[in-house]
Amino acid sequence: MSGVEKDLEELSKLAVTLGASRAKPVPVGVIVVDERVQLKCRYPPCPFYGRNRMCPPFTPTAEEFRKYLAMYRHALIVQLDVPLTEDIKSRIRGDVKLEELFLDGDFSSVLRREGRQAWKLLNHVISGIERESFRRGYRFAVGFAAGSCPLCDECDVSAPCKHPLEARPSMEAMGIDVQRTLEKAGLGIEWGARDTVTLTGLVLID
Ligand code: SF4
């Protein structure tokens, strides 16, 4: 086993120790970047577009990110399975339409409040892996989490970030097609899950 393979294996174990459900080292070639992912941040309009420092348009474009990605060799995909609370489950039961959920401000605030700990945990795992990678000499290690940054109650985009060592953009914010990437990596993601959602993050290591 080469030095980097050993490091990736140990970093995978660290991810689980920090709280991840699983972590898998993958070649960078499985990561799919598609401009349309960032288009979907705009339409239908995401409430965090331009209102969270870790979201577009503050993040690199997919075209820029593709150039950065080409310079990396190693990556670690990290997943966190999160059981849905009874409150959230009761709201998505039956034949409720996505549009109804999307327009339901109450649902959005419940989702954000109850899901926030899980999003924070993913940030914690991703920044922990990034930090340990850096400590082992991978000076360009950089991590990506999921969703908008959950670390502050409100993100003030006009002020410096309050948690620069932990705040990280989502994979989608960089234009990564998470579903295609997971398919190519041999990992799953279940759409329309009613009991558990899986959050996915990524650390590029070099
Ligand atoms: S840590 Fe706070 S200020 Fe920084 S991006 Fe996240 S929400 Fe915004």
pLDDT digits (tens, 9 = 90+) for 28-41: 999 999 999 999 99
Listed in sequence order, the residues at least 6 apart from 80 whose beta carbon sits closer than 8 Å to its beta carbon are 19, 20, 21, 118, 121, 122, 125, 198, 199, 200, 201
114, pLDDT greater than 80: no
Enter the pTM of the model: 0.90
Q: What is the pLDDT of residue 98?
A: 66
187 lines ligand 1 (CB under 6 A): no
Give yes or no for residue 173 CB within 6 A of ligand 1.
no
Give the mean pLDDT of the chain. 92
**Nearest CA residue ID for atom 6, ligand 1:** 149
- Coil, strand or helix at 191: coil
Nearest CA to ligand 1 atom 1: 163
Supply the pLDDT for residue 53.
97
Cβ–ligand 1 distance for 55 under 6 Å, the answer no
Task: Judge whether 185 and 53 are in contact, CB under 8 Å.
Answer: no
Q: Quick one: tokens of 34?
A: 């598609």
Q: What is the DSSP letter of 192?
A: T
Q: Is the peptide bond before 57 cis (omega within 30 degrees of 0)?
A: yes
Strand ranges (DSSP E) for 55-168? 74-83, 142-144
Count of CB atoms situated within 10 Å of the CB of 104: 14
Tell me the pLDDT band of 108, cut-offs 50, 70 and 90: low
> 149-185 pLDDT, tens per residue?
999 999 999 999 999 999 999 999 999 999 999 999 9
For residue 194, is pLDDT > 90? Answer: no
Nearest protein Cα to ligand 1, atom 3: 161
pLDDT at 94 over 70: no
The pLDDT assigned to 10 comes to 98
Ligand 1 center from residue 165 Cα (angstroms): 10
Q: What average pLDDT does range 122-150 have in this prediction?
A: 97
- Give the residue, out of 52, 58, 122, 155, with the most ligand 1 atoms within 8 A of its beta carbon, to mutate for a pocket test: 155
Q: List Cα–Cα distances, 9 to 15, 75, 189, in angstroms.
A: 10, 11, 22
Q: What are phi and psi of 30, to 5 degrees?
A: -80, -10
Which helix (H) or strand (E) element contains residue 7? helix 3-18
